Amino acid sequence: MLYIVPTPVGNLEDITLRAIRVLKEVDLILAEDTRTSSVLLKHYDIHTPLRSHHKFNEHETAAGVVDALLAGKQIALISDAGTPAISDPGFLLVRAAVEAGVEVQCLPGATAFVPALVDSGLPNDRFYFEGFLPQKKGRQTRLQQLAELKHTFIIYESPFRLVKTLQQLSAELGGERQASVSREISKVHEETRRGTLTELIEHFSQVPPKGEIVICVAGR
């Protein structure tokens, strides 16, 4: 069995009892960053062996992991925060496991964009999850495509690129488009700021943001 186990995006209490049990019972935990994950495992007194599995080695390690699964090992995959494979490594391993006939279970749990979407106050009966925009090639094209969406859409962004991204969105969508910026979700300094793109640009130009960022933008 390959378990996909969500981990807290902020507060360490944001993990399910089932996730803790699975992490204690499996033979091996694959982690995006073993140093980051060690903090969580130590907090919950989990002593399962830990191995690195990240975007720079997942092509090479996936086959070996599948072989271990086929040999009867129980393995859990976690990321630094949130649900693996959602803007984090995981897809390649899940696909390889499925193709090999290994059973895969993804546990429900934390992911950053859901609380950000609900907190935004924007329509959420239907929405589009973009994740991280392309950094260079294809970025302008993606922004133009997002401008045509009729539903709220969600972008992940670095605090260092937030203002630039808001400015690009404003140029394509118009400065009066409603949006929200959520940062430090589930942490001590959690904040969601709502307003037009113009208002958000003005605010974050004066108050540089910190922490992981989720942008929610109203549809056309």
Contact 129, 153 (CB under 8 A): yes
What pLDDT is recorded for position 58? 82
Q: Is the pLDDT of residue 34 over 90?
A: yes
Residues 171, 85: Cα–Cα separation, whole Å: 31
80: closest CA among 113, 52, 105? 52
User: Which amino acid would we find at residue 120?
Assistant: S
H or E element at residue 2: strand 2-4
The predicted model gives 188-199 an average pLDDT of: 96
What pLDDT is recorded for position 54? 84
What pLDDT is recorded for position 168? 97
216: closest CA among 139, 3, 185? 185
Q: Is the pLDDT of residue 61 over 90?
A: no
Terminus-to-terminus CA distance in the chain, angstroms? 43
The residues near 172 (Cβ < 8 Å, ≥ 6 apart) are 143, 144, 146, 147
The residues near 202 (Cβ < 8 Å, ≥ 6 apart) are none
